[in-house]
Amino acid sequence: MDSNSGRSVFPAPHPSIAWMDGEFVNWEQCTLHVRTQAGFFGANIFEGLRAYWDESTQKSHIFRLDDHLKRLEQSMKIMRMKSRFDTPTLRQATIELLSRCEFQAHAQINLSTYFRYSGPGEPLVATEDTGAHITAIPLPRSPKIEKGVAAAISTWRRISDDCIPPRAKVAANYQNSRLAQNEARDNGFDIAIILNNRGKVSEGPAACLFVIRDGVLITPPTFADILESLTRDTLIVLAREKLGLQVVEREIDRTELLISDEVLMCGTLFEILPVTSVDRLPIGDGEAGPITRQLQAHYLKTVTGGYPEYSSWCTEVAAPPAALPPKVTLTHQEAIEWVDSADNAYHAYPWAKASLEDFSGYLREPSKFPCNFARAAFRTNTLHFVFAGSDTDPLELARVRQGLREYLKTVSVMTGIEESMNVLVILFKPEAQEQALDHYHQTAWHVMQDWVDNDPEPWPPEIPTDPEQPFWSLCFAGVPLFINVSAPAHRHRKSRNLGRSLAMVTQPRAGFDLLAGPTPEGDKVRQRIRRQVELYDGQPAPDVVGTYHRGDLEWKQYVFTDTNDEKLTRCPLHIDAAAPTQQRRTG
């Protein structure tokens, strides 16, 4: 509890960032509204993962990441959840988050998919309104791994597959473990052992169980109401392949625990815990047994990448890019300094320097580029830049949205000519080989659709939602936008070619209208620009060029064909203004 604010604070060291709903956010912003199904009913599915730091190689490995993601998919299927984020996206986000955290220590990761809101009066119905979040914290290995734990048989019984299936890793399921663990702690024990409704040993809170009798490793079967544990599976493999032990999966009686040679519990969080007593009766000699110790040693070597034959279980986490800027949107001067930084060759966007220089060459005086406003913004360093490494990678698309929000927040406090002159330029990684113009246009529409699908604010009520209606304009974060798409494939329409990168240039429609709006002076400005464009391009302006304030369709101004042959007859965007992301998230 923060004594100054009275608010609860996370009680352990944590990084400054997290990942939520496709974006990297500040730790404090990774929150849910209490009225979501996840916040109110615990309707979220999760995986807890471990990452292990190897001091000798200075590398970190996430253990069995792909198997955790497979189990997440299975849990979501059981719970009828359709996540907005596919497995490759969640995988990459997990790796990149850990990379950005730069722990250089063992770490624990929580990945969760969750239900947001359902319809009125139906709080328990599966909804397509879902989200996901990922957090990571540094977490050393527990000292209990060495000294062991004292266990107690709980009076609570384990949930069952025909009631609340433990096979699905759902947060609400863990209330069963919470009851058992609190009872054990109140009675002076370290951990609980829970029996199922048949009176057979099931598992502990977040931990599976093994006993060793006469050199045989025995563990309850999956039908004993246990979680299908990945750590349990790992130990079965190591016991057979490294120790040559016989492993038997069968039901275990309560009293069998008391006469076993060794008992151990295992899980991603706990790793391998020796159980030294049950109900205050010693197991063996009351110390961790020799087989338990051997399994611990092999397990540690496995999770840190020491066994080549199990390398597929270890996902290496690359060091973070050396020169990623702390924010996505850069001012013109910041962009120049960033691409010219000493370690520029090693960061994630080595193409950015050439693309920025290429773009600048079109606007640098004595440029003949027909848009005086663009040249003036370049000359006065009032351009803003976002560099996007991909137009398909969900994380890069999320970075673009984050950059657009940063820019809109910056210009929201500006007025007059200052607002008009501050323009955002989004430069995409150039294609390995130049593509046809249609390819670049499809890419731009895909990016704009991504803005629509992930809009953080409700659609402005004064703007039509149908692009085929007059006075429609693409909106994001509640702001109507003016958009211009330039592509390297333009040969004749030279005014829509700003270098090797696909360039999306945008600003708030209000800022554009200050200079070229529905006034006599605005009409003169537009006419002058169009004459200059025709001279620059060596051909008449496109037939689709119109005037927004006279009701001409705005979407047709976003992309132009290279000659005067209009191809699109309807706007490719699909807009559902009733379900903005932020409205779903916060209610």
Residue 372: what residue type?
A: N
Q: How far is CA 337 from the centre of its chain?
A: 28
Total-model pTM: 0.64
Q: Assign residue 567 a region: left if phi > 0, alpha if psi is -120 to 50, beta otherwise?
A: alpha
Contact 445, 572 (CB under 8 A): yes
Q: Assign residue 21 a region: left if phi > 0, alpha if psi is -120 to 50, beta otherwise?
A: left
Fold classification of 144-310 is: D-amino Acid Aminotransferase; Chain A, domain 2 (3.20.10)
Beta strand pairing call for 262-267 and 271-278:
antiparallel
SS3 state of residue 54: strand
CA dist., res. 579 & res. 562, Å (int): 36
The tens place of each residue's pLDDT in the chain, 587 residues long, gives 455 555 566 777 888 889 998 888 888 889 999 999 999 999 999 999 999 998 888 889 999 999 999 999 999 999 999 998 999 999 999 998 999 888 889 999 999 999 998 888 888 889 889 999 999 999 999 999 999 999 999 999 999 999 999 999 999 999 999 999 999 999 999 999 999 999 999 999 999 999 999 999 999 999 999 999 999 999 999 999 999 999 999 999 999 999 999 999 999 999 999 999 999 999 999 999 999 999 999 999 999 999 999 999 999 997 765 545 567 899 999 999 888 875 444 456 889 999 999 999 999 878 888 887 788 889 999 999 999 988 887 778 888 998 999 999 999 999 888 888 899 999 999 998 999 999 999 999 999 999 998 888 889 999 999 999 999 999 999 999 999 999 999 999 999 999 999 999 999 988 777 766 677 776 777 788 788 888 898 888 776 666 766 777 889 889 988 887 766 778 999 887 544 443 333 33
H-run or E-run covering 211: strand 208-213
Q: Tokens for 123? A: 């709080």
CATH code linked to domain 17-138: 3.30.470.10
In this structure, the number of other CB atoms found within 10 A of the CB of residue 468 comes to 11
- Tokens 């299936």 identify what position? 165
Domain locations in the chain? 17-138, 144-310, 330-586
In this structure, the number of other CB atoms found within 10 A of the CB of residue 506 comes to 25
